[in-house]
């Protein structure tokens, strides 16, 4: 397998996000985000880690972009921090935040690296959360202003945009399970957050296109390949419910298919949060869908789980090879997900906007020989090529991630990067996987 097998115009890149890498959490005019607040609370994050400094990308962006250039990465996906541009999420604009992202974008272009921007990668301004966050319908107004600001300030040089990053993850983990920021729980928080995020997803796409008609606009979803624990009817039905919840809840409304209420009857309660024309507002024809894929999940019937009567069998109980996230090491999930997406006729094209694996890397004599990550990437990319050869319109791949980073509630223990970060000294070390990716792209 060589990269030329994908064609001359295939996009190869790597990704990071603001809250996981930037640091400088309360400097240069930046406001507090929900993750700044959440990670400051005791026992919310493993090992009591926080994202105050992270990779200090704010001060090290030039070095990191030079390393990306060295690795032959020509496409760089990063996110804008909403509270760095607008400290409270509304009102005043922070000129230092605008200047920072202008410098990052301009440096990318100087190095012949194409910038791809994610508008929202989970760092909601804390002030907005205090007035309801994603459960407050006024978020539609605030998000409109924020997206318009981004498109206006940066759209003259940035031609590729993603509106939301994994909305099921930030609404489900943050507003239903409470294990991510802002730590809310229950259906009464989840349903309005879900609906408002789905509306903002399409609103954001429309705004960027209005301001920059020549822009390529997409949005990203987390996908897991779902299989039933057995071929018993009850487990097959459970798998369909889990698949609908994780993989279809945000995808299908933007395609004009509505929420998957047939498989998830509890979603009928979301009608409480509908206003006239919402069904139409949910729809938007994105230029691409971003697929973010890591693993597969095994589903089984569980009558004690409310709303769906199904749950996921933890990978640690399945006697399978595990990553540092305790996910199954299953690179073939990418192939299955791409085939799943190809069944939707209204998806124009697909980019894999995240794919990778965390392993317990060891720095020995200045080197990290992360062979398991290389093997995972090779198998994932081979599955992507197989899907492409079978007719799936996949046109790009962004490895997650360029840098080791703050992995949300898991703290700094899981390392996804192809560049190792020593969090004490901020020293960067290219891993063997980084060298492999460089050589693969150069071929």
Q: Please state the rounded mean pLDDT for residues 100-120.
A: 98
Asked if 165 and 220 count as a contact pair (C-beta separation under 8 A), the reply is: yes
Question: What CA–CA distance (Å, rounded) separates 196 from 133?
Answer: 10
187-211 vs 139-154: helix crossing angle, rounded to 10: 30
Q: Please state the rounded mean pLDDT for residues 406-426.
A: 98
- Given the structure tokens 């979803």, which residue do they identify? 221
- The runs of H, that is alpha helices, within 230-345 are 233-243, 251-254, 278-281, 333-341
Would you state the pLDDT for residue 296?
Answer: 98
Where in the sequence is the domain holding 197, given as residue range(s)?
Answer: 3-442
Longest dimension (CA), the chain: 63
| Tens digits of residue pLDDT in 61-101 | 999 999 999 999 999 999 999 999 999 999 999 999 999 99
Would you state the pLDDT for residue 244?
Answer: 98
Would you state the pLDDT for residue 443?
Answer: 74
Interstrand relation of 350-355 and 310-313 (parallel, antiparallel or unpaired): unpaired
pLDDT band at 260 (very low <50, low <70, confident <90, very high): very high
Of 71, 62, 76, which is closest to residue 162 (Cα–Cα)?
A: 76
Q: Please state the rounded mean pLDDT for residues 262-282.
A: 98
- Prior bond of 182 cis (ω within 30°): yes
Q: Please state the rounded mean pLDDT for residues 290-308.
A: 97
Question: CA angle 145-150-154, nearest 5°?
Answer: 155
Q: What is the DSSP letter of 128?
A: H
pTM above 0.95, yes or no: yes
Residue count of the chain, please give it.
443
Of 67, 158, 59, which is closest to residue 111 (Cα–Cα)?
A: 67
The residues that bridge with 301 in the sheet, in sequence order, are: 310
Would you state the pLDDT for residue 105?
Answer: 99
Domain count, the chain: 1
Q: What is the DSSP letter of 4?
A: G
Q: Please state the rounded mean pLDDT for residues 305-325.
A: 97
Element (H, E) at 353: strand 350-355
pLDDT band at 341 (very low <50, low <70, confident <90, very high): very high
CATH number of the domain encompassing residue 245: 3.20.20.80
User: What are the distances in angstroms from CA 338 to CA 227, 335, 389?
Assistant: 15, 5, 12
Decide: residue 76, CB within 10 A, 0-12 exposed, 13-18 middle, 19+ buried.
buried
Of 316, 356, 352, 367, which is closest to residue 437 (Cα–Cα)?
A: 356
| Residue 437 pLDDT > 90 | yes
| Residue 265 pLDDT > 80 | yes
Q: Please state the rounded mean pLDDT for residues 392-421.
A: 98
Chain-centroid distance, C-alpha 7: 26
- Given the structure tokens 């789905």, which residue do they identify? 198
> Catalytic residues, which ones?
166, 354
Q: For a pLDDT cut of 90, what percent of the chain falls above it?
A: 100
Helices (H) and strands (E) in the chain, counts: 15, 11
Would you state the pLDDT for residue 392?
Answer: 98
Q: And the tokens for 345?
A: 């006729």
Rg, the chain, Cα only: 21
419 backbone dihedrals φ, ψ, rounded to 5°: -120, 125
Interstrand relation of 114-120 and 419-421 (parallel, antiparallel or unpaired): unpaired
Q: What is the DSSP letter of 245?
A: I
| Residue 201 pLDDT > 80 | yes
Element (H, E) at 34: helix 34-38
Q: And the tokens for 377?
A: 């990437």
| Residue 259 pLDDT > 90 | yes
| Residue 225 pLDDT > 90 | yes
Q: Which segments within 176-287 are labelled E, that is strand?
A: 216-228
- Given the structure tokens 């995808």, which residue do they identify? 251
- Considering the chain, what is the average pLDDT of its residues? 98
Would you state the pLDDT for residue 375?
Answer: 98
Question: What CA–CA distance (Å, rounded) separates 42 from 1?
Answer: 47
């Amino acid at each position: 397998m060589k990269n030329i097998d994908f064609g001359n115009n295939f996009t190869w890149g790597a990704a990071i996000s603001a809250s996981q890498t930037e640091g400088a959490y309360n400097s240069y005019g930046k406001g507090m985000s929900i993750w700044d607040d959440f990670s400051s609370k005791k026992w919310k994050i493993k090992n009591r880690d926080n994202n105050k400094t992270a990779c200090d990308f704010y001060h090290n962006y030039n070095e990191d972009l030079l390393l990306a250039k060295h690795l032959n990465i020509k496409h760089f996906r990063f996110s804008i921090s909403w509270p760095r541009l607008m400290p409270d999420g509304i009102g005043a604009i922070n000129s230092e935040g605008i200047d920072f992202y202008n410098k990052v974008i301009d440096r990318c272009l100087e190095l012949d690296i194409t910038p791809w921007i994610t508008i929202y990668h989970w760092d909601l301004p804390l002030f907005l959360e205090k007035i309801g966050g994603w459960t407050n319908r006024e978020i539609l107004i605030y998000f409109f202003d924020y997206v318009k600001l981004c498109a206006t300030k940066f759209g003259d040089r940035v031609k590729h945009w993603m509106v939301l990053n994994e909305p099921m993850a930030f609404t489900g983990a943050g507003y239903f399970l409470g294990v991510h920021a802002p730590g809310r729980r229950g259906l009464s928080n989840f349903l309005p957050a879900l609906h408002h995020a789905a509306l903002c997803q399409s609103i954001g796409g429309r705004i960027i296109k209005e301001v920059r008609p020549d822009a390529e606009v997409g949005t990203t979803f987390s996908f897991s390949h779902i299989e039933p624990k057995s071929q018993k009817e009850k487990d097959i039905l459970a798998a369909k419910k889990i698949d609908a919840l994780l993989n279809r809840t945000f995808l299908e409304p933007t395609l004009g298919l509505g929420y998957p209420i047939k498989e998830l009857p509890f979603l009928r309660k979301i009608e409480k949060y509908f206003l006239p024309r919402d069904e139409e507002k949910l729809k938007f024809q994105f230029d691409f869908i971003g697929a973010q894929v890591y693993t597969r999940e095994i589903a089984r019937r569980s009558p004690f789980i409310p709303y769906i009567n199904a749950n996921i069998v933890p990978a640690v109980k399945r006697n399978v090879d595990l990553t540092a996230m305790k996910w199954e090491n299953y690179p073939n999930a990418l192939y299955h997900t791409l085939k799943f997406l190809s069944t939707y006729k209204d998806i124009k094209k697909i980019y894999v906007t995240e794919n990778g694996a965390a392993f317990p890397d060891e720095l020995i004599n200045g080197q990290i020989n992360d062979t398991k990550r290389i093997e995972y990437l090779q198998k994932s990319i081979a599955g992507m090529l197989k899907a492409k050869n079978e007719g799936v319109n996949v046109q790009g791949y962004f490895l997650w991630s360029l840098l080791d980073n703050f992995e949300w509630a898991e703290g700094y223990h899981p390392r996804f990067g192809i560049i190792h970060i020593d969090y004490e000294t901020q020293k960067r070390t290219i891993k063997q996987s980084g060298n492999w990716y460089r050589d693969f792209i150069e071929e």
